[in-house]
């Protein structure tokens, strides 16, 4: 049975590279659920680079909002799945004004389902910095912290990545 591996750390800390290196050991059936939206040229270039870096042996599902649906639509049921990135998904939810409480509940329920392969969930740790100066940024930080706590509680393994170094903190 597959495990849920929660990979958390700061921006550009090596979280995605760590998840990819662990999942890349599978010979086939690897899936990547990408939550980034190409809303400007810089983001379009980032998405293109990441897509090219993954290569053709990965099935990529680009889904900024319905990650529960993306998990259930995934055709590769035997290989590992990377969901990258939970905090980008949360910012998409907030920007599109979708009901986050329902989304959180659905996500946690989906994580509780039996899996035949490992699921890697990548997220940013946003609570280690200064208190944001505006209300929306504080709301995002608080919601991301709550979401990260819930996912960490549901995960079999939690790995903090700092400066490219993985530190196992659960499992």
Domain assignments of the chain as residue spans, ordered by start: 4-160
Spatial separation of the C-alpha atoms in residues 84 and 15, rounded to whole Å: 9
Q: Catalytic residue, from 10, 17, 24, 50: name it.
A: 50
Please report the pLDDT score of residue 102 as a whole number: 81
pLDDT of residue 104: 87
pLDDT by position in tens, the chain (length 171):
889 999 999 999 999 999 999 998 877 789 999 999 988 999 899 888 888 888 888 899 999 999 999 988 886 778 999 999 999 999 999 998 878 778 888 888 888 777 788 999 999 999 888 899 999 999 999 999 999 999 999 999 999 999 999 999 999
The residues facing 157 across adjacent strands are 5
pLDDT score of 57: 85
- Say whether 50 is catalytic: yes
Whether 5 and 111 have beta carbons less than 8 Å apart is answered as no
Alpha-carbon torsion (1, 32, 6, 13), positive or negative: positive
Transcribe 81-96 into DSSP letters: EEEE-HHHHHHHHHHT
The pTM for the full model equals 0.93
Q: The domain 4-160 belongs to what CATH superfamily?
A: P-loop containing nucleotide triphosphate hydrolases (3.40.50.300)
Q: Report the alpha-carbon distance of residue 89 to residue 123 in Å, rounded.
A: 9
pLDDT given for residue 101 in this prediction = 78
pLDDT value for 154:
94
Tokens of 160: 């903090």
């Amino acid at each position: 049975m597959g495990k849920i591996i929660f990979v958390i750390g700061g921006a550009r800390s090596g979280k995605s590279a760590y998840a990819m290196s662990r999942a890349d050991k599978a010979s086939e059936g690897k899936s990547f659920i990408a939550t980034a939206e190409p809303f400007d040229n810089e983001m379009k270039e980032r998405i293109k680079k990441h897509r090219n870096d993954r290569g053709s042996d990965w099935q990529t599902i680009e889904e900024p909002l319905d990650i529960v649906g993306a998990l259930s639509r995934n055709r590769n049921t035997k290989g590992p799945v990377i969901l990258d990135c939970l905090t980008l998904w949360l910012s998409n939810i907030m920007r599109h004004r979708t009901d986050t409480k329902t989304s959180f509940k659905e996500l946690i329920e989906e994580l509780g389902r039996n899996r035949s392969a490992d699921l890697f969930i990548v997220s940013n740790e946003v609570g280690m910095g200064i208190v944001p100066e505006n209300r929306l940024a504080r709301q995002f930080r608080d919601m991301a912290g709550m979401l990260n706590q819930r996912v960490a509680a549901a995960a079999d393994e939690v790995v903090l990545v700092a400066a490219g170094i993985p530190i196992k903190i659960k499992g």
